[in-house]
Amino acid sequence: MLSKKTQYAFQALSYMAQQKDNDPLLIADIAKKKKIPLKFLENILLLLRKDGVLESKKGKGGGYYFKMKPKDVTLARVIRLLDGPIAPLSCVSLHFYERCRNCDEKHCGLHDMMVKVCDANLKILEKKTIADLVTE
């Protein structure tokens, strides 16, 4: 399940991607338009800036804008940044792998099933982008 933080991130990024040009947008304007709590959105956009998805400009005419093209920002990237692992179990995670304490992965039906679930999710989330959220 996506956290509220990630849902807000997708709403804000979609709104930003819908703008004709990549001019900086004020956080307050995004928050008002998408009905996202301002302080919450500030933290989200800061994380996206630190990750290289967004850039910010200070002063008059400042705000946040895409550093990467929306078509290059995968949904998986945003989810991992804000929610952590996409995998339902740590023993099947690509980026956050941890071995289960009381399980033998070689002979675990749950592990094998969750690998299939994770692979199916990643097949979509690694291909779909912020641009797709706007066009689909």
**Residue-level pLDDT at 9:** 98
Can you tell me the distance from the alpha carbon of 59 to that of 14, in angstroms, rounded to the nearest whole number? Answer: 24
Q: Which residues of the chain have pLDDT under 50?
A: none
Structural Rg of the chain based on CA atoms: 17
- Whole-number pLDDT of residue 99: 84
Q: How many CA atoms lie within 13 A of 9 on its CB side?
A: 28
Residue 1: what pLDDT? 83
Q: What is the pLDDT of residue 30?
A: 97
